[in-house]
Amino acid sequence: MREIILGCIQGLTEFLPVSSSGHLALVQYFYEGLDDQDILLNILLHLGTLFVVFIYYRQDIITICRAAYSYIQRSQPEKQIKEDKHESEEHRQFLLNRKMLPLIIVGSIPTAIIGVTLKSIIEQSFSSLPIVGGALVITGTALYLANMLHFSNSKQTISYLDALIIGTVQGIAIFPGISRSGSTISAGILLGIESKTAAKYSFLLSVPAILGAVVLEGNDLVTLTQTAHLMPYLLGTLIAFVTGFFAITALIKVVVKRKLSWFSFYCWGLGGIALLYGLAM
């Protein structure tokens, strides 16, 4: 039962902009039977949601790899694409996909620096209810601002400065209560990036972040798999994958319709309750 509940929490809150780490921290605080201290279970749940990104953005990932290879081989000269006016949209997508890999690398640098530097502080913050509650309130505010501000000429490209800023925001989102998807998508929109492009970059940027966390936590992964609870853990991973796929599909629709404020009220409510309860204790 524990694995099923944690799988649902991980799958839904990893992609919906309500902070998976914040929810897991609250679960740990109020119900000790659902703690997230098992390293193997934590790794498998994150891998379950990572595969969601691979499946959902499989065509984009393949296109990015082909564009990067094409750039190296010079097999598709940029000039040839520019000459056809009817392929201007294809040209734009080609340039964005070719640039996406270095953008992901640039965005991952500040995330890695913040994650490694503040690791001990972040771990301690999981036990502080006021910090988690305050962070959820911040997440709700960021979503509301991104939803309310409208740019008539949103950029459909991402600059390296944009990637650096979004990567820094992703690093800060390691703190429980700060939604990774919510904060990075909001940052992209506030930087003037078209919402669907901001969402795509946000989720693709999560791949090295999740893999990095798995590597840091799973140095002895082979040893960890020698457990009698492996099958329930795999069930939890499957549930995280299924619920995560529905969550990311729903979120993209919400982003396109500019309805992020729906999640603002949820984050404000939950965060406010956690903050007041933590301060009163």
Contact 121, 90 (CB under 8 A): no
Cβ atoms of 114 and 168 closer than 8 Å: yes
pLDDT value at residue 141: 95
pLDDT score of 104 = 93
CA atoms within 13 A on the CB side of 13: 25
Distance CA 58, CA 165 (A): 25
Q: CA 17, 20, 21, 23: dihedral to nearest 10 degrees? A: 100
Token pair of 148 as six digits: 């309310």
Residue 224's pLDDT is what? 59
Cα–Cα nearest to 158, from 112, 216, 200: 200
Distance CA 246, CA 267 (A): 20
State residue 91's pLDDT score.
64
DSSP category for residue 37: -
- For the chain of 281 residues, list the mean pLDDT of each consecutive stretch of 10: 84 90 83 60 84 90 77 53 51 71 93 88 85 95 87 78 96 92 93 90 90 69 64 89 93 87 94 92 77
Q: How far is CA 15 from CA 56, 72, 166, 188, 251, in A?
A: 12, 33, 16, 16, 7
Residue type, 241: F
Taking alpha carbons only, the member of 40, 21, 268 closest to residue 143 is 268
Residue type, 174: I
Place of tokens 């929490």: 9
Query: Given the structure tokens 């000039």, which residue do they identify?
Result: 79
Instruction: Give the DSSP letter string of 238-276.
Output: HHHHHHHHHHHHHHHHHHHTT-THHHHHHHHHHHHHHHH
pLDDT of residue 180: 92
| Residue 203 CB neighbours (<10 A) | 21
Picking from 147, 88, 179, 137, the residue whose alpha carbon sits closest to that of residue 272 is 137
Residue with tokens 């919402």: 195
Determine the Cα–Cα distance for residues 255 and 145; give it in Å rounded to an integer: 13
Q: Is 91 exposed, middle or buried (0-12, 13-18, 19+ CB in 10 A)?
A: middle
Q: How far apart are CA 151 and CA 174, in angstroms?
A: 28
Domain boundaries, given as residue ranges, for the chain: 2-280
Structure confidence at residue 185 (pLDDT)? 94
CB 158 within 8 A of CB 172: no
Give the separation between CA 49 and CA 252, rounded to whole angstroms. 16
Q: Which of 207, 196, 202 is nearest to 155 (CA)?
A: 196
